[in-house]
Structure 1
Amino acid sequence: MPRKLAAVLLGLLLFPVVAASARSTPDTGKPDPSVTTGVVRSTIALPLADDVLPVGVPVLFAGEASYDGPVAKRVTAVDISFDAGRTWLRAQGTGPWSIEHAFTAPGARSVISRATAEDEVEVWQTALPLHAGTGPLPKLACERCEFWQPNRGDTRYLRIDDDPRPVELGIRFAVDRPGHITGVLGYNFYDQGRGERVGRLWSADGKLLAEAGPATWFSNEFTFDTPVPVRPGQTYVASYYTPYGRYPVTARHFTATTVRAPFITRPNAGVYRYADEGPVPESGGFPDKSFEASYYWTIPIFAPTR
């Protein structure tokens, strides 16, 4: 028999044995979690690739995980490595998941997420490259960049607060590069109460930089007539006033620094002020109070300088 044909036949005979041993442990016969028959996937949505993170302060990492296979399985754990796979930490939640981590020294970093769905472990893991301390700014894929945050794994994602009082809802933020704030998104559609909805941009000390009404009565976007130039490292507050109350909120979201270029926020970034506490009743005012590290779904819109 020719040698090549013999080798092929030998391989065919041995393959089922090798495949079987790869899918079960010799001691128990149970499935080996290092080999997957379905597809377990995890992604990191916060921060983004090549983002520059501060050193010495907790930063929020968050993402999603899922399983796609012939048998329905639930994701049971997500582990995160902040040192390119040498050690692993268990994240909170599964899909979504989140974890806070502080880098202690500057330099290039590689972060990996790994999901487990019952007895199967994610095999193909993609490292997320980051910079701690200093590094080149990542390229932006957006001309119109909206502040956005993924779900956390340890909080209730979003609810509508039924407080009907008129209120100014905002977010305290910075940017990592020069550009302009062109407007604000404020997700509130209730049509009860008095007064008009207004979107605003403020300096950190409460100086009003711009304001605008909605394009239409049902619009949630407030576009400034003149875009406001903003500088990296400076803190700004984007807000919108709603005379109707009943606003969307996610509690305990801003418990750590978040970085998702071009935006940076610090803990307790969500801020508010009730209208009756402002200088002019029923017209809002500079929001400077925080509660339970809440996120009020106020979204600044940034246009980078090209």
Structure 2
Amino acid sequence: MRVKTYVSVLAVLAALAWVPASASTATSAAPTPDARSTGTEIGLWDSDFGAQMTAADCGRWTLDDQGFCTADDVRNGVELGTKFQTSRALAVTGVRVYRVDPGQVTGTLWDADGTRLATGRFAPQTTAGWQDLVFDEPVTIRPGRTYIASYYSPATRYAFRYGFFDDELTRGPVTALRSVAGDPNGVHCYDVATCQYPSRAFRSSTYWVTPLWSVPQGQPVPPPAVPAPPADVDGPSVRVTVPTQGNKRVRTRQRIRITFSEPVRAALLTKATVRLVRVGHKRPVPARLRYDVGRHRLSLTPRSRLLPRTTYRVVVSTAVADLAGNRLDQDPTRPGLQRATWTFRTR
């Protein structure tokens, strides 16, 4: 009788201690896979992946020394995520992020309804770079359903790339979904007190966050996902002008030079799209146009001397386009395409 009672007590204690893995949420993290992992933790990007971006990709933001565009936004924190699906049942073990924010960064796995399936804190890290968070318990996800792997930056500092999710990205069973109208990828949620989970997007951007899953020991690790180059969606602009805007000491034999931010279609550089006019007059000043493809610089040489002590205006129309067909936009912050125009005065 005593033996049976002792066994019954042990059975009750074991039942109370058991918690289903699918219901757990992590509250601790490790920078590398923990001791319970029996394989290799992988994500869409390996921890040595380099973005190989340039300053031109970053817009008004900064390129770091590892080739990632990084933003330091003035907001009250942001949750940044990647939507993905799996082709088979899969245990998500954590989240991998290219970190910029040295603060208390958290990672989360969500379902498409906004339910938080698992969460945890990344170990402290003071320098930018890839870092892994491993959940206390893996979470099994199902094929054909959409999930989001995300992280929260309290300082609103993050790495990004515009246009990344214009195409999908697949590694092994996991596919990061392509952005489509009404269902974007590269999702975010600013000021998390006012929104539930990351669902908005901007320019199909990636924020370099991926789910982690385990490949069992002895099985081949699928090759890293190779992202398609982002589509060129930005129009060219006038970067440098000679003479400069407002110059009042210009020679009457001055040649006008216009340097664009990127190569443009030479066939679109015509007397109709690039004009030199005397202020107060409608007819353009006759001039020869010559385009240097390598420097993407246009020279405009008046056929006769400019008049002394006279104000001139140079106008580059929005019909000028880059090699991808994007039209000139001198000020993308304003609605519609903006032509480039500036004035100078001869001495």
TM-score (structure 2 length as normaliser): 0.41
Instruction: Considering Cα pairs closer than 8 Å and 6+ residues apart, tell me whether 1 or 2 has the greater RCO.
Output: 1
Larger Rg: 2
